[in-house]
Amino acid sequence: MRKFVNVNKNRHQLLSNTLPDIENLGSDDQTEKYEFVAITVFDHWLSREDAEKSFGSQISEEEQEQRNNSFMRFRELLFNKTEVLTYRCKGRGSNRFVSFKAFTSINAGLEYTSPAISKGPYGRFFQVALPSLGAVYLENYDDTNLFYYKDKNTFEVINKWAKSCGLFCLK
């Protein structure tokens, strides 16, 4: 069974207008059109010493499972509260464009957004668009994901949802 389907052409154009420049998010070429927040299991930015104690063999399997479960609850909340779409950047140069796809079910979306580490050595980080929030959510390294948004009210909503799942939003 397919996990996602293409959105129709009209909807695609609307999404491209609603979420401009998303092809640059998460890279060195940041856009001025979005605010950024890190969604993480940590309540502060880690120092080098904190980081060395917080990853890999330094933490127990139970601790890592607890972290994963917090992110799983957050992803479930996103899928239950708002529309979530995946997207890919295609083409090169002036022919570059973003292709949006809708998930065929919440379970398909949750499977797609499971941590890359759980998908084996060639797992890709997920990237999803939240059109009704004018936002984009990207998986990242070290139990910290990236959330880009355009409206301050969106931050308030996401911060509330993150806290309810045991996560923190760091600016």
When pLDDT is averaged across residues 13-34 and rounded to a whole number, the result is 83
pLDDT tens string 110-145: 999 988 765 555 557 899 999 999 999 999 888 899
Provide the residue range defining the domain that includes 44: 4-25+32-170
| Tally of domains within the chain | 1
Task: Supply the pTM of this predicted model.
Answer: 0.89
Question: Average pLDDT over the chain, rounded to whole?
Answer: 88
What pLDDT is stored for residue 26 in this prediction?
A: 76
Q: What percent of the chain has pLDDT over 90?
A: 60
Pick from 49-58, 64-73, 77-86: least confident: 49-58
At residue 107, does pLDDT exceed 70? yes
Sequence-ordered list of residues with C-beta below 8 angstroms from that of 82, at least 6 positions apart, any chain: 130, 132, 133
